[in-house]
Chain A
Amino acid sequence: MAAHGTTHTHEEGGHHEPHVVPVWYYVGVYIILLVLLVLTVVVSRFDLGALNIIVALLVAVAKTSLVILIFMGVKWASRLAWIWSVFGFIWLLVLFGTLGDYITREWVHLPMGW
């Protein structure tokens, strides 16, 4: 603290220093991301039927989580930033919830129009 206390104009307490993590943290995440990219391509070569899209999405979600938590630094950010970073994706779930309507419309045969 003393070493850089002069560079800050912060007042009494409560202040957190900016997060700085060792370089290997970022290198590690980068390598995992590349492995996941190869996995994405390899998996797409096999016909897993309905599982195809599920596996592809799971890998994409894993990649995204790594980018958000480490690269974007949400892991070390405040609770408020954390909430906002999750909020968009929760909204996305609600949006894709409307698929339930599109997919099930043909299940019940209603007369066209009224």
Chain B
Amino acid sequence: MSTVELEHPTFAPQHVGHQFEELDQQNDAYIVGIWIFLVTEIMFFGALFLALTIYRYNYATAFEEAHNALNWKLGMLNTFILLTSSFFMAMAVRAKTLDHRSETKMWLGLTLLCAFGFLTVKYFEYSAEIREHHFPGPTFRWEAPSRANVEANTPLIQMSEAPKGIAGLGNYTPQPIEHHAHQLFFSLYFIMTGLHGLHVLVGILVLGCLWVLIAVKHPAVEDYIPLEIGGIYWHFVDIVWIFLYPLVYLIGRQ
């Protein structure tokens, strides 16, 4: 099947916008554009990964204990779901390039299904963690392990002095933070996976809109480039998770 359609391919029609000189330039502008956007994405996700690395280095024992509380099996399931969705996405872009509309809708629909599946699994993970009081804040509880953990209770920054002269904080007396290093791990965990989840949500929005536009044969998606751009963004979301999973769920698991 694939060899036949590749011998005599019919491609999705493309029209050169009046602001471009030729099709190659137009395609390049779109693809380079999404990559420049992804560079900014790498920048802020990179900063979070660096924060994780530094605090992991400072509180190795506490982070190792804390990350054992995460459900690595559900994390693995989610990695599987995202990798599968990336495969579906690549197939969707391929079908769109060859101008196969119903096939495109099927693969894109499967991609969206995976995205919803990912968020559903994440929902169960989050609710279990919140139930176990692992969400950072006043309700945070950590069952101290049997062996004494000195490091986890040695603050990096001494909080012994109350900030003075700040309006409204006159009566502020800082409480010693219980298991602050464990909380720090969960803060990073919720920020990083939450931000990633937000990207999945945006991905659902973008791909969902593209699905509808393709379904109603909107002229804007006659060209395959919009789907290709959406796909590149979606694959990036997958890449972030490819790093999140081993670095947050797995490192140092015994």
From B143-151, B189-197, B228-236, the one touching the partner chain is B228-236
Given A4-B10, A8-B23, also A70-B46 (CB < 8 A): no
Residues of chain B lying within 8 A (CB to CB) of residue A109: none
Chain A residues engaging chain B, CB cutoff 8 angstroms: 3-4, 7-11, 14-24, 26-27, 29-30, 33-34, 37, 40-41, 44-45, 47, 52-53, 56-57, 59-60, 63-64, 67-68, 70-73, 77-78, 80-81, 84-85, 87-89, 91-92, 95-96, 98-99, 102-103
Question: Which bucket holds chain B's interface residue count?
Answer: 35 or more
Is B207 among interface residues, defined by CB-CB distance under 8 A?
A: no
Whether the pair B24, A84 counts as a contact (CB closer than 8 A) is no
Whether the pair A64, B242 counts as a contact (CB closer than 8 A) is yes
Tell me the smallest distance from the CB of B203 to a CB of chain A, in Å.
Answer: 14
Tell me the smallest distance from the CB of A77 to a CB of chain B, in Å.
Answer: 6
Whether the pair B250, A20 counts as a contact (CB closer than 8 A) is no
Q: Which interface residue of B9, B35, B84 has the most chain A CB atoms within 10 A?
A: B35
8 A-B interface contacts by CB (under 8 A): A23-B1, A40-B246, A67-B238, A73-B228, A78-B31, A88-B35, A96-B50, A99-B50
Distance, CA A24 to CA B90, complexed state (A): 12
Interface of chain A, main secondary structure: helix
Is B152 among interface residues, defined by CB-CB distance under 8 A?
A: no
CB interface residues, B 25-48, toward A, < 8 Å:
27-28, 31-32, 35-36, 38-39, 41-43, 46-47
Is B89 among interface residues, defined by CB-CB distance under 8 A?
A: yes
Distance, CA A22 to CA B9, complexed state (A): 12
Q: Which residue of B lies closest to A45 (CB)?
A: B253
The digit string for B81-123, where 1 denotes a CB below 8 A from any CB of A, is 0011011011101100110000000000000000000000000
Whether the pair B246, A59 counts as a contact (CB closer than 8 A) is yes
Whether the pair A20, B53 counts as a contact (CB closer than 8 A) is no
Distance, CA A26 to CA B190, complexed state (A): 32
Whether the pair A71, B94 counts as a contact (CB closer than 8 A) is no
Is B251 among interface residues, defined by CB-CB distance under 8 A?
A: yes
